[in-house]
């Protein structure tokens, strides 16, 4: 079950306010609240634990004085300036805090969304972090979204095939045995004899294959040999041909004519592609609505405001449209 705020009797409210004045606002107070998602608190203690989990070597800079962090950095780089080292420690601390709070807020969003969708969220104690439970709920939400999608129809597949027919055209492909980088025409003629003898000579030829190229795809020095390859008759040794200051000889061993893949052959791959595109669109729409919905219900303390808080007024960095985090 999700945690919820309960009504407080007037007398208890006075006591709670007095206690808060003594300790709730300070950075060192383990029970203080840094943010609330729809009334559910994220405490300083939860934030500190998450920072420790994600910090390199699990070392969190010791704000606000950063004594240990400075000593550690100076031990690594003895010539560092103290002022610069402290600034680096402060930056590391703030970056860790933003990252940790980002994860905790997103996790609460996922748990709240699962509850909104009527999914049975697992119960957790008041001290349990939401991150692990949220990972389970993210998978359940994805499953719910997948079930809501329509099956790809035969008409959609046929329409895609017709609109993208060039993608299913296959150019002529030629397989060759070739010897390159021959330093002289005389050596090229020896290599021609080797190829004609089915490799009984030096055997130093390569097996390669080429699709019939569009002229713009071939750099000028190779155009001559590509034209020769696609003009040659199969099983006839061709050469010597000048190539990059050397010579080459080749033999076409196999030709696969140009052809179009029939719809029946590519139906399954088209269906998978269309289904994947549909899933991405569905997920992108959900994520956008999910972020908007829960940002409006996320309140953060003044010193802890980041881009997922309702109070944030800074520039918005681009976010991945399919990212739950």
pLDDT in tens, the chain (325 residues): 444 333 333 333 333 333 332 233 334 444 599 999 999 999 999 999 999 999 999 999 999 999 999 888 888 888 777 778 889 999 999 999 999 999 999 999 999 999 999 986 656 655 567 898 888 889 999 999 999 999 999 999 999 999 999 999 999 999 999 888 888 888 888 888 888 775 444 456 788 888 888 766 666 767 888 889 999 999 999 988 888 888 889 999 999 999 999 999 999 999 999 999 999 999 999 999 999 999 999 999 999 999 999 999 988 878 777 777 6
Considering the entire predicted model, what is its pTM?
0.67
pLDDT at 244: 82
Q: Which residue has the tokens 């972090």?
A: 129
pLDDT at 19: 33
pLDDT at 266: 96
Residues of 165-176 as b/e, b for ≥16 C-beta within 10 angstroms?
Answer: eeebeeeeebeb
pLDDT at 122: 59
pLDDT at 4: 39
Residue of 234, 212, 237 whose CA lies nearest to 223: 212
pLDDT at 26: 38
CB 1 within 8 A of CB 123: yes
- Give, in order, the Cα–Cα distances in Å from 206 to each of 6, 11, 200, 252: 78, 90, 14, 12
pLDDT at 84: 86
Determine the Cα–Cα distance for residues 212 and 228; give it in Å rounded to an integer.
Answer: 11
pLDDT at 324: 72
Q: Which domains does the chain have, with CATH numbers?
A: 10-150+281-304 (no CATH), 172-257 (3.10.50.40)
The beta strand positions in the chain, using DSSP E, are: 33-37, 40-43, 169-170, 173-182, 206-211, 237-243, 246-256, 259-260, 298-300
Determine the Cα–Cα distance for residues 298 and 24; give it in Å rounded to an integer.
Answer: 19
């Amino acid at each position: 079950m999700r945690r919820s705020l309960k009504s407080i009797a007037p007398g208890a409210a006075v006591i709670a306010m007095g206690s808060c004045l003594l300790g709730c606002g300070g950075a060192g107070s383990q029970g203080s609240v840094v943010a609330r998602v729809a009334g559910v608190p994220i405490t300083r203690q939860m934030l500190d634990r998450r920072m420790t989990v994600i910090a390199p070597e699990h070392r969190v800079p010791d704000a606000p004085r950063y004594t240990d962090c400075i000593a550690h950095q100076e031990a690594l780089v003895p010539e560092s300036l103290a002022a610069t080292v402290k600034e680096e420690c402060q930056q590391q601390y703030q970056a860790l805090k933003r990252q940790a709070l980002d994860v905790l807020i997103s996790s609460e969003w996922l748990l709240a969304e699962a509850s909104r969708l009527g999914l049975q969220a697992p119960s957790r104690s008041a001290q349990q972090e939401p991150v692990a439970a949220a990972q389970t709920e993210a998978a359940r939400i994805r499953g719910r979204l997948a079930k809501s999608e329509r099956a790809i129809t035969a008409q959609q597949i046929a329409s895609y095939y017709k609109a993208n027919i060039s993608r299913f055209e296959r150019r002529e492909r030629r397989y060759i045995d070739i010897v390159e980088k021959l330093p002289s025409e005389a050596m090229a003629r020896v290599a021609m004899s080797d190829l004609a003898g089915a490799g009984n000579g030096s055997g130093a030829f390569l097996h390669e294959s080429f699709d019939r190229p569009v002229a713009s795809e071939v750099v000028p020095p190779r155009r001559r040999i590509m034209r020769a390859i696609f003009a040659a008759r199969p099983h006839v040794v061709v050469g010597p041909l000048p190539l990059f200051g050397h010579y080459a000889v080749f033999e076409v061993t196999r030709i696969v004519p140009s052809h179009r893949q029939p719809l029946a052959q590519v139906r399954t791959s088209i269906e998978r592609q269309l289904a994947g595109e549909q899933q991405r669109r569905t997920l992108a729409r959900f994520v956008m609505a999910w972020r908007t919905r829960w940002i409006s219900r996320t309140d953060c303390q003044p010193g802890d405001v980041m881009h997922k808080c309702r109070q944030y007024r800074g520039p918005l960095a681009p976010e991945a449209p399919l990212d739950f985090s």
